[in-house]
Every structure is written in C-alpha cells, then in structure tokens.
Amino acid sequence: MKFLQSPPRFLFFTGKGGVGKTSIACATSIQLAEQGKRVLLVSTDPASNVGQVFGITIGNQITAVTAVPNLSALEIDPQAAAQAYRDRIVGPVRGVLPESVVKGIEEQLSGACTTEIAAFDEFTALLIDGALTQDFDHIVFDTAPTGHTIRMLQLPGAWSGFLEDGKGDASCLGPLAGLEKQRAQYKAAVDALANPQKTRLVLVARAQAATLNEAARTHGELAGIGLTRQYLVINGVFPQSEAAHDPLAQAICRREQAALASLPEDLRALPTDQIELKAFNLVGLDALRQLLAATLSNSDRHREEQSDVAIQDDVDGRAALAMTDQALKINAPNLASLVDAIAIEGHGLVMLMGKGGVGKTTLAAAVAVELATRGFEVHLSTSDPAAHLTETLKGSLAHLTVSRIDPHEVTEAYRAQVLATKGARLDAAGRAVLEEDLRSPCTEEIAVFQAFSRVIREAGKKFVVMDTAPTGHTLLLLDATGAYHRDIARQMGAGAHFTTPMMQLQDAKHTKVLIVTLAETTPVLEAANLQADLQRAGITPWAWVINNSVAAASLNAPLSSPLLRQRAANEWREIDCVAQQHAPRTALVPLLTDEPIGVARLLQLAAGKTAPDRSIP
C-alpha cells in the first residue's frame, strides 16, 4: 500500500461518511504495531466506533489494546471533554464569585460551541511533542466525516487568528478564557499539520462519483490550509471476477469502473491504492488483519475458487436456506409503505438521521419525492455540509422545494443581519466591538441553529423532510437546540405557554425521526447508540430504514455471485436484530442495479424494486 510506505508520525484518515475510514485506520494501526512501532489510534469522530471494531471499551483516555502489543487507542468524547473543560474554567471561581455569576458562566459554556472547542483542545494536544504522546512512534487519526473534519483542522488557524486579532466583547467569553491560555499549543498544532515530514493525510473514498467528488473537494480545501501531503485510498472496490453471471454484480462493477474512469482531475496526481470489497464484516482483529492484505491476482483467485468449490457450494446452500428462513420471519415493508403512514397527518417534520455514508440524502430525497408525487407541498432541506440534494434529484418536481443550510452562507447572512439591526444603533467604537464579536467561530453555531429552526417551523403547514449531517454533528446541533430550550424555559418561568424547536422535535405527532442504517454489524450498533442518545433527549425515533440491502435485492432476483450471496446471508442476521430488538417499525431498501439519481429511480427505490420499472415516469 502506497499510503503505508515510509509513514510519518501523524496519519489522518478522512473522507465522506461510510467509506471505511475507521476500518482502514484500525487496520493500519494494527499493521504498524505488529511491525514493532508504538502506535496510538485516535478517533475524533463524535460518533466513534473504534471500540466496537476492536470489541473493547476505550473511551476518553489512552487505553491499551491488549490483543495487539504496541497499540493503544483513544476516543475523544466531546461531551466528556466539554465537561472537563467547563470544570477547568468554572472550578477556580466557584465559591469566589457570587453564585449568580457562576451560573451565568456555566450557561455560556453549555452550548455546542464549547463542546467543539473542548474536543479541538484535546485534538491539538496530540499534535505537539508533549508528555501525552512522547511514548508513541505513530499517531493515527480516525476523523469525523469530511465536513466536520475540515472544520476541526481549520480550527487551530481560526482560533489563533481570532485571538491574535483581539476578541473584543465576544459572545463566547467563557470558552475563550480557556483558549487564551493555549496560544503556544495551537501554533505548534498548526505547524505540525502543515509539515509534510510530520503529517500525511489519507483521503478515503468509494468507487462512486459522489464520494470521489467529495474527496476532490476535501483535497482542495485541506491543501488550502497547508495539508499538501495527501494520498488516496479507494475502498470496497467490487472484484470484477465476481460479475461474470450475476446482473446485480455486473451493474455494481459497471458503475464503479465508470466512476474510476472519470476520477476528478485533482485526484489523478495523488498516490492511490485500491482495496477490494470483502465478503465479511470488518469487526475483530482477524478481519482487520485481512483488510490490507495483498489482493489476489485473477489466476490465484481462480485456483483458490477451484480448490474450494465443494466447500463453497455447501456454504452457499446453507446460506440460501438461512436467507429463506429469515425472509419468511421478517416482514419489513418498503419505504413507500412508511410514507403511507407519514402522509396521514397531511404535514409534519420528517428527519432522517444516522452515521455518514448510510444514504440519508438519497432516502430523504426519496421520501420527499414520494410525498410530492401524492400532491403534498414538501420542503426538502439538509443540514449536512457534504450533502448534495440537487445532484440526487437531478431535476425539479411539482410541489417540491429544495434548500440547503450552508454553514458559511447562513453565518455571513447572520453577521449582516446583526450589523444592520443591532449595529445600526451603535457608534463607531461599539460597532467595531460588535464586528469583532461576530468574527468568533462561535457565531456559526448560532447561525446554523437559527436556520435549522426556521426550516422546521414550516412543518406546521407542509411536509418538511430534513436530511441531517452525520450523527456526531447532528447531536451537536441538537445540543444547541436543547440549550436554547432551557434558556427560553428559564426566561419564561413556570406556567408560561411557549414552543421551542426542541419541543417540536419531542412531539411524536409533529416529528417523525427515521434512523437510517446498513445491514452490517457496526452500522447497526451505531444506529442503536444514536437511538439511545435521542431517547435521552426526549426524542423517540419513529422508524428505522435499512438501506442498500443485498438481502432485499436477493428477494427480487437470485444472486449467483458468491461474494454477494455471502454478504446477503450476513445481512439477514442484522435485519432480524433491527426488527426484533431496536425498531418500532422497519423499512428495507434494496441495493439497486442503477444509482438512485433522478425522480424515476428515487420512486423505484421507495417501491423496493431493484430493476427499473418502465411505467414510472
């Protein structure tokens, strides 16, 4: 693998959600550790699943992975980091300042902005040659999905610049009181990120046009902030040898090879590796060790298949029986059947949530198209910085409007609004202070929350379908929503009548949350964790949608590819787990022979058909 040749001390794995960053980061860490290197594997993803991959509990402290000598791991827990950060700021003044003042400081530190700063504070500590990391030869970062990662990597420069310019009377004085003390650490972090001798960034993608375009955008943005030493890994490439007599396998290969042939120009010059799709789930050491193993040549694979043909026939036979048995037990409807129940109210908020890469954008578009074709007014929106709804819809449709909450755009609009209103009443000195305040990175949190609130208010009159950002970022947005609710409740007092966005999200009649997952071990565990987080916030998910299912596709047409048959057999266990243990109601969406782009194919997806229906307009 090119990305593993002469690796520097810091390796970053980033990319669109669901492309396999965690698996590759874990496999890389194991390989380096088994070469005798002392390795620290760090997850900066708020929805980290590194511990699940290894089958151990890691958490917010450096933990030895006992099954792999020389390997330790750390999951930066944003909430734990934020609490420790608040304790450092509030602790010294508790009992010294009046209680009302202390409560005011705690309120300043209660929002998502503080959570982001605290996680970033821990992240930068790992990039400097301090006591925390001095015992490790390599530090491997498994990062959050692209949009959040770029935000994290930009923060050292953003916060350093903000502090150097002078913070003025900033709205986030509490968080900045801690930042002020860390100037030297942030400068060292920026220097480490920009030094190709110290840092290598690995863009992970799938052989799909959307993820390759996302990787190209990420490449440009990260090069712009100094991370120029980049590599490309295209993960989960379907083996062409599997496509001989299987229409679904042929379709997958055809569109993957077309995507690779149209590789964006910015990526062509990068050192590139391809990793083949595996039949097994990437959980546990044995699976991870096989992930980066050298790919068999076609002749080697043919000899291996010939020698194992009897065993494979027996496995396939048992897998087919297991699939048939599970299919009879599980009665999961298609997505259109869920929309039947959603449509009864005539309006409301439908939010699709889940880890990156599970297909939330596509499914949100499919739900919106289904509702719009039934004559309902629908507003389809996204809070995901990396989502591209217009590319998925590929056209317009009566009764359907589309929008995107772009963090940069809404922040600039918010700044302009505040300067035009509050700023108009200030003198020159006061306006200068306000402008300084609005340059704080915390301003983005306020702007995105306000835009989110405006969109969901429309759900009282029409359907609003919201495609959310990957899990961790969505939870931070909900954290801001909860902080706003608590503040309003405190101001209004007991007995007052009011409605906040959080109350709308908690109202099951008004809001239906659809958790999107894949029929694989890790995505199901992550979805279950998301459901638990939502329930703690008083939000009860309405349904789960299992997307891109090979098992569901097998019900429409027999599979002849051994790899697809084995993946389908593996999926039925997870589908049963979702239906029996987690979801109040479930929809099963098959993997399609054609990418679900455009209205006709989105309707096909909702109907659960793997092949195009020529009657669909």
Question: Which residues are the active-site residues?
Answer: 18, 20-23, 45, 522
Amino acid identity of residue 531, one-letter, is Q
Q: 3-class SS at 541?
A: coil
Q: 3-class SS at 247?
A: helix
382 - beta bridge partners? Answer: 404, 467
Contact present, 254 and 247 (Cβ < 8 Å)? no
Instruction: Spell out the residues 6+ positions from residue 298 whose beta carbon is closer than 8 angstroms to its own.
Output: 241
Token output for 389: 């709804």
Residues comprising the chain, all counted: 617
Please name the residue ranges forming H helices in 241-379: 247-261, 265-268, 285-291, 298-307, 309-329, 335-343, 360-373
Contact present, 506 and 560 (Cβ < 8 Å)? no
Taking the C-alpha atoms of residue 615 and residue 617, their distance in angstroms, rounded to an integer, is 6
Taking the C-alpha atoms of residue 324 and residue 330, their distance in angstroms, rounded to an integer, is 10
> Tokens 């109907």 belong to which residue?
607
Taking the C-alpha atoms of residue 412 and residue 469, their distance in angstroms, rounded to an integer, is 20
Nearest CA-CA partner of 526 in 113, 167, 144:
144
Show contacts of 498-507: CB within 8 Å, 24+ apart.
Answer: 501/452, 501/453, 501/456, 501/457, 502/478, 502/537, 502/538, 504/349, 504/456, 504/457, 504/459, 505/349, 505/351, 505/456, 505/478, 505/481, 505/537, 505/539, 506/537, 506/538, 506/539
The C-alpha angle with vertex 549 and arms to 548 and 555, in degrees rounded to 5, equals 135
